[in-house]
Structure 1
Amino acid sequence: MKKTILIFLFLICCQNFLAQEKLVDSLYGVMEVQTEVYATKAGEDLIVDLYKPEKSKEKTPLILFMHGGGFSGGSPKNPQEVKFARIAAAKGYTVGLISYRLTRKDQSFGCDFEAEGKIETFKFAAEDFMDAVAFMKNNSEKFSIDPDKIIVGGSSAGAEAVLNAVYNPELMFQDSEKYRDIKFSAVISLAGALVDVRYLTQENVVPGIFFHGTADNLVPYGSASHHYCENEQPGYLILDGSKSIVQKLEELETSFLLYSFEDAGHEISGMPFDHLQQVFRFLNSVVFNNQKIQSKITL
Structure 2
Amino acid sequence: MRNSFKFSLGTFLLLSVFSTISSTAQIILHDKKTQVTTKTFYQRDTISLKLDIYYQGQLKDKKPTVLFVFGGGFVTGKRDNKLFQDYFNFLAEKGFKVVATDYRLGLKGKKFPTPFNTSALRDAIDTAVTDVFRASNYLINNAETFGVDTSMIILSGSSAGAITALHADFNKRNATALARNLPEAFQYKGVISFAGAILSYQGKPKYKIPPAPTMLFHGTADKLVPYNKVRLFNRGFFGSKFLAGRFKKAGYPYYFQYVEGMGHEIAGTPMKDKLPDILWFIQNYIFEKKRYFMEVDFKDADSKRSFQMPDKKKRW
TM-score (norm 2): 0.76
In structure 2, the partner of 1:128 is 131
Q: Cα 1:109–1:160, aligned 2, differ >3 Å: closer, same or farther?
A: farther
Change (3 A) 1:168 1:247: farther
Cα distance, 1:201 vs structure 2: 2.0
SS at 1:195 equivalent: strand
Q: Structure 2: how far apart are the matches of 1:284 and 1:29? A: 25
Q: Cα deviation per residue 1:41-94 (whole Å; 9 max; x = unaligned)?
A: 442211110101225985100000000001111101101222211111010000
- Identity, in percent, stands at 29
**Which residue in 2 is equivalent to 1:9?**
none
Of 246, 249, 258, the match for 1:248: 246
Shift of 1:170: 8.1
Matches within 5 A, 1:12-91: 30-54=33-57, 59-91=62-94
Q: Give yes or no for contact 1:134–1:182 (8 Å, CA) kept in 2.
A: no
Paired residues for 1:1-299 under 5 Å: 30-54=33-57, 59-109=62-112, 111=114, 114-169=117-172, 173-179=176-182, 180-196=184-200, 198-201=204-207, 203-225=209-231, 238-272=236-270, 273-299=272-298
Go from structure 1 to structure 2 and tell me whether the alpha carbon gap of 1:138 and 1:55 turns closer, same or farther (over 3 Å shift): closer
SS in 2 for 1:103: coil
| Uncovered stretches (5+) of structure 2, i.e. residues with no partner | 1-30, 299-316
* Residue type at the aligned position of 2:206: L
Gaps of 5+ in 1: 1-27, 226-230
User: Which has more helix, going by share of residues?
Assistant: 1
Once the two structures are overlaid, the 10-residue window that deviates more, 116-125 or 56-65, is: 56-65
Deviation at 1:250, TM superposition (A): 1.1
Give, in angstroms, the shift of residue 107 of structure 1.
4.0
Cα distance in 2 for partners of 1:65, 1:184 equals: 12
**Structure ID, larger Rg:** 1
d(CA) in 2 for partners of 1:95 and 1:246? Answer: 26
Secondary structure of 1:130's aligned partner: helix
Number of paired residues?
A: 264
Answer with 288-297 or 53-62: which moved more: 53-62
Q: Secondary structure at the match of 1:75?
A: coil
Q: Which amino acid aligns with 2:37?
A: Q
- What's the CA shift for 1:175? 5.0
Secondary structure of the equivalent of 1:124?
helix
Q: Runs of 4+ in structure 1 displaced over 6 angstroms?
A: none
The answer (yes or no) to whether the contact 1:67–1:158 under 8 Å persists in 2 is yes
Aligned Cα RMSD in Å?
2.5
Q: Which residue of 2 aligns with 1:5?
A: none
1: distance between equivalents of 2:293 and 2:44?
A: 40
CA contact (8 A) 1:60 1:93 kept: yes
TM-score by structure 1 length? Answer: 0.80
Question: How far 1:292 sits from its partner (Å)?
Answer: 1.9
